[in-house]
Structure 1
Amino acid sequence: MSDPTPQDARPLVEVADLHKRFGDNEVLQGVDFTAGAGTVTVLIGPSGSGKTTVLRSLNGLEVPEQGSVRIGDVATEFASRPDKRALARLRGQSAMVFQSYNLFPHLTVLENVMIGPRVVQRRPAEEVRTEALGLLDRVGLAAKAEQRPFELSGGQQQRVGIARALAQRPELMLFDEPTSALDPELVGEVLAVMQDLAGEGWTMVVVTHEIRFARSVADQVLFLDGGVVLERGAPAQVLTDPQQDRTRTFLKRILDPI
């Protein structure tokens, strides 16, 4: 009999057979994938394909009717209808950066970064403050610590959102189209921070239409359409030599929209 596989050899993320329905629309129809620690998984696909629903299921913001998610040592079976405590444990494994920033307008930049560790994780104030200032420096915004979100550009607000997510010390970073609400000239500053995080070994699942970013940073790309993973593989395969006609059509529309 062979030795059991060590726990450390398992992928950090395991997603199996996710099904999610909104009314008559089954937006996920059996999505599954794995992601190793320190890897970047990019989800691409047309609007309505289920990308964001997958991301929100990883974070417990959506509750699928079927399937399972494991992040690190926290596993959630959705068919058994997990309670709030189980969903909170799952949510504690990841942190999400939203496309619409979602910063608290009445708090300073520093307070926005500190609020999760202080209120949810109940960590000491001075420890959190020191770490938050370091994270703001890391995303190039240390000088903005005492300003309010409305005083920042969209790209700066999104970088605050990244610092806020990092402050939670998650196992997994989730990005939901983080550049889609930005003016084109501000996209690069956010993607540069994300690229740095990938280089530092953060495990990331990213929903994006930024194909050049996916090509340069992703370890695997999943193309979703109609609630299923229609194609998956390394960026060089999926983005350069896709096997499915639907993938080729989608990429042509993204890369050559005219």
Structure 2
Amino acid sequence: MSPTDPGTTAPTLLKVANLQKRFGDHEVLKSINLEVRKGQVLALIGPSGSGKTTVLRCLNGLEIPDGGEVSFSEGPTVAFVPGTTQKQAQVLRTRSAMVFQNYNLFPHMTVLENVIEGPVQVQRRKRKEAVSAAQSLLGRVGLAEKQDQYPHELSGGQQQRVGIVRALALKPSLLLFDEPTSALDPELVGDVLKVIKELADEGWTMVLVTHELAFAREVADEVVFMDQGVVVEHGHPDVVLRNPRNERTQQFVHRLLNPF
């Protein structure tokens, strides 16, 4: 993929309209509206419990919203109504792939087996083709020699890079990152962020949940600040992260940039 020409307006890849989700009496998402263009990196920031991860899980069919619509430009479109099934929601995974906060690798499978599981078992691609693609991707992130090892033999940063490769192996239109560095030791964060930055530079479309505000400012085209299940403020990183207009955004950004 090649990066989107900054002189042109890229076509819309994803639209999220009036997304709502509650768990029992707790309304987690209150009419979320988002638009992601092809080649764009959208960063979701906000305090814990603001609904950021739930948005990602809805986009990947891991949660079933109580209302709203998620639509990709060339399909699928899922309108969520009472009675929408998990199977109907999972069709969104034909276009998106998720990188989880805690890696979520299969512990009983080698690195290579983890990467090819989706392409072979879900997408029904030939094993030989899937293995070749997986080996190429692992080499790209510096893990070629780790393909026969198991997750417990890897550092956290290496496991997360495997998680990224596993998502890339599905050839998605949209990559979803759920706080991909929050479970890592500080010295391991840089390697993972480097891979994500390289993917952004190549033009991959991403929605990224992160507390790494400096990284969001560097890599994102748009930043969305969420709080209590609503979008409070959104715009260019230089505005939202350097000179936010909303008082709640100002408080959040100041607290993260000045923790002591």
* TM-score, normalised by the number of residues in structure 1: 0.95
How many Å apart are 1:82 and its aligned residue? 2.8
**Partner of 1:19 in structure 2?**
20
Contact 2:22 2:28 in 1 (8 A): yes
Tell me which residue corresponds to 1:58: 59
SS in 2 for 1:12: strand
Deviation at 1:81, TM superposition (A): 3.6
Tell me the amino acid that sits aligned with residue 194 of structure 2. Answer: A
Aligned match of 1:160: 162
Deviation at 1:80, TM superposition (A): 5.3
- Provide the residue aligned with 1:247 in structure 2: 249
Kindly provide the amino acid, as one letter, of the partner of residue 59 in structure 1.
N
Aligned to 1:3: none
CA distance in 1, matches of 2:246, 2:236: 14
- What is the match of residue 122 of structure 1? 124
Name the structure 2 match of 1:74. Answer: 76
Counterpart in the other structure of 2:204: 202
Equivalents in 2 of 1:180, 1:9: separation in Å? 31
| Counterparts of 2:177 and 2:154, CA distance in 1 | 20
TM-score by length of 2: 0.94
Task: Confirm or deny: 8 A CA contact 1:49 1:227 kept in the other structure.
Answer: yes
Count of paired positions? 251
Counterpart for residue 174 of structure 2: 172
Greater mean alpha carbon deviation, residues 70-79 or residues 236-245: 70-79
One-letter code aligned to 1:209: H
Report the Cα distance in structure 1 between the residues aligned to 2:244 and 2:234, rounded to whole angstroms: 9
Q: Distance in 2 between matches of 1:151 and 1:60?
A: 30
| Matching residue of 1:31 | 32
2:102 is matched with 100
- 1:108, CA displacement in angstroms? 0.9
CA distance in 2, matches of 1:191, 1:81: 39
Report percent identity of matched pairs.
Answer: 59
Q: Is the 8 A contact 2:61 2:91 kept in 1?
A: no
CA distance in 1, matches of 2:86, 2:63: 12
- Describe the superposition over 1:45-72 as per-residue Cα deviations: whole angstroms up to 9, x where unpaired: 0011000011111011111111100123
Structure 1 ranges of 4+ moved more than 6 A: none
Partner residue of 2:233 out of 231, 236, 243 = 231
Name the SS of the counterpart of 1:112 in structure 2.
Answer: helix
8 Å contact from structure 1 (residues 14, 34) kept in 2: yes
Q: Deviations over 1:114-154 (max 9, x none)?
A: 11101111110100000000010111111111111111100
Separation of aligned partners in 2, 1:84 and 1:26 = 20
Is the contact between residue 21 and residue 27 of structure 1 (CA under 8 Å) also seen in structure 2? yes
How is 1:131-150 mapped onto 2 (pairs within 5 angstroms)?
131-150=133-152
Q: Give the equivalent residue in structure 1 for 2:183.
A: 181
1:46 and 2:47 correspond? yes
1:134 and 1:142 map into 2 onto residues whose CA distance is 8
Out of 78-87 and 126-135, give the one that drifted further: 78-87
Contact 2:64 2:86 in 1 (8 A): no
Say yes or no: does 1:218 pair with 2:220: yes
Kept after mapping to 1: 8 A contact 2:51/2:229: yes
